[in-house]
Amino acid sequence: MHILIIGAGGMIGRKLAATLGRSGSLGGDTITRMTLVDVTPPPVPADVFVPAEALAADISESGAAEALAARRADVIFHLAAIVSGEAERNFDLGYKVNLDGTRLLLEAIRREGSRQAYVPRFVFSSSIAVYGSPFPDPIPDDYVLAPLTSYGVQKAISELLLADYSRRGFIDGVGIRLPTIVIRPGAPNAAASGFFSGILREPLAGQRAVLPVEETVKHWLASPRSAIKFLIHAATLDTAALGVRRTLTMPGVAATVADQIAALRRAAGPEAAELIDRRRDEVIEGIVAGWPKSFTPERATQLGFVAETTVDELIEVYLAEDAPGASG
Q: Which amino acids are annotated catalytic?
A: 151
Residue list 291-310, contact with a second copy (CB under 8 A)? none
Q: Tell whether the torsion through CA atoms of 37, 220, 126 and 141 is positive or negative.
A: positive
Instruction: Tell me the window of 4-12, 135-143, 199-207, 256-264 that interacts with a second copy (CB under 8 A).
Output: 135-143
CA distance 202 to 72: 43
102 or 180: CB nearest a second copy = 102
Shortest separation between residue 74's beta carbon and a second copy, angstroms: 24
Listed in sequence order, the residues at least 6 apart from 274 whose beta carbon sits closer than 8 Å to its beta carbon are: none
156 or 221: CB nearest a second copy = 156
Shortest separation between residue 257's beta carbon and a second copy, angstroms: 26
Distances (CA, A) of 326 to 123, 317, 321: 28, 10, 5
Residues near a second copy (CB under 8 A), total:
23
> Pairing relation of β-strands 276-278 and 209-211?
parallel
| Angle 183-187-190 from CA coordinates, rounded to 5° | 90
Cβ–Cβ < 8 Å for 235, 20: no
159 or 259: CB nearest a second copy = 159
Shortest separation between residue 41's beta carbon and a second copy, angstroms: 32
167 or 279: CB nearest a second copy = 167
Tell me, residue by residue from 138 to 177, as one string, x for binding to a second copy by CB under 8 A and - for no binding: ---xxxxxxxx-x--x--xx--xx-xx--xx---------
Half-sphere exposure of 27 (CA within 13 A, CB side): 15
The closest of 223, 96, 214 to 154, measured between CA atoms, is 96
B/e letters for 250-275, b = 16+ CB within 10 Å, e = fewer, are: bbbbbbbbebbbbbbeebbeeebbeb
142 or 282: CB nearest a second copy = 142
CA distance 312 to 159: 32
Distances (CA, A) of 236 to 9, 173, 220, 249, 289: 23, 11, 25, 17, 35
Query: 192 pairs with which residues across the strands?
Result: none
Residue list 49-88, contact with a second copy (CB under 8 A)? none
Shortest separation between residue 290's beta carbon and a second copy, angstroms: 9
CA distance 125 to 98: 11
Any contact of residue 12 with a second copy (CB under 8 A)? no
Shortest separation between residue 51's beta carbon and a second copy, angstroms: 36
User: 3-class SS at 74?
Assistant: coil
Shortest separation between residue 160's beta carbon and a second copy, angstroms: 5
The closest of 107, 114, 123 to 74, measured between CA atoms, is 123
160 or 258: CB nearest a second copy = 160
Residue list 214-253, contact with a second copy (CB under 8 A)? 244-245
B/e letters for 218-231, b = 16+ CB within 10 Å, e = fewer, are: bbbbbbbbbbbbbb
Shortest separation between residue 132's beta carbon and a second copy, angstroms: 6
Which residues here bind a second copy, judged by CB under 8 A?
Answer: 91, 132, 135, 141-148, 150, 153, 156-157, 160-161, 163-164, 167-168, 244-245
